[in-house]
Structure 1
Amino acid sequence: MNAPAAPEALTVLYDGACPLCQREISYMQGLAEGSAGSGLCFRDVSAADVQMPEAERAALLARFHVQRADGSRLSGAAAFVAMWARLPGWRWLARLARVPGITPLLEVVYRGFLRLRPRLQAMARRAASNTQ
């Protein structure tokens, strides 16, 4: 019997300058490192050494994205579902999200979060500066 094929690489493109993103991605990286064969890589697109056109960087920083090995990208709820499918303890949520109608509902919720994100980021930054 053949061993299951390793999943193709999936690169999580995230905003490392965002305190909310930093916290979530740190957690997800820990899960990925503990899961042999997750196929997840993480790339901070806010980092100065990441070379790309500024319009592309702005688009990547505005929403959550993952990039497949072929270079195609998923964003928003679809990107979260693709990442969750690779992580232990989160695969059940990816399966649930694939039920017809659920991912579009998650996208609506994510868009609502994006409207609140600047205020939440400011609150997180203030909280961090108060603890230093």
Structure 2
Amino acid sequence: MNTQSDNHSIRVFYDAACPGCVKDRAWYEKRVGQGEQVQWRDINSCEQELKALGIDPHRAMLELHVQDENGRIWRELPAYQILLSRLPGYRWLAWLIGLPLIKPILSWLYRKWVRRRLKKEGRL
């Protein structure tokens, strides 16, 4: 299996067992621009791939991870920024969620939401 991202695509490591995550993927796919290629990888079925990239599978359950075109791994809100920056009309939102006052609050809310969801599902 190739663990390097190709030059024209990013890889998104997401939880396909999460209905909200699946819905977010569908939302994204409807809006992505022409020429953008995204490889969606279910973290529940690619543990070896995650490990090969230096991603802890447990941490992948708690945070979205994105591998950019250069092979760099981004997690949590910076991962969302990578995704949003590729959507026509949403680049401003990628910028906004990265602002120093907004980012820590959104990060805290994101972690709280994910942990609550996983605990409710019995996966934490």
Query: Normalization by structure 1: what TM-score?
Result: 0.67
Instruction: Map 1:25-44; keep pairs closer than 5 Å.
Output: 25-32=25-32, 35-44=33-42
User: CA contact under 8 A between 2:77 and 2:98: conserved in structure 1?
Assistant: no
Q: Aligned to 1:88, what secondary structure does the other structure show?
A: coil
Equivalent residue number for residue 44 of structure 2: 46
| Structure 2 runs not aligned, ≥5 long | 1-6
1:102 maps to a residue whose letter is I
Instruction: Map 1:68-87; keep pairs closer than 5 Å.
Output: 68-87=68-87
Query: Normalization by structure 2: what TM-score?
Result: 0.71
1:21 maps to a residue whose letter is C
Equivalent residue number for residue 20 of structure 1: 20
Q: Aligned to 1:46, what secondary structure does the other structure show?
A: helix
Separation of aligned partners in 2, 1:121 and 1:20: 13
Q: CA RMSD in A?
A: 2.6
Separation of aligned partners in 2, 1:87 and 1:120: 32
Equivalent residue number for residue 56 of structure 2: 56
Percent identical: 29
Question: If you compute each CA radius of gyration, which structure gives the higher value, 1 or 2?
Answer: 1
| Over 6 Å off, 4+ runs | none
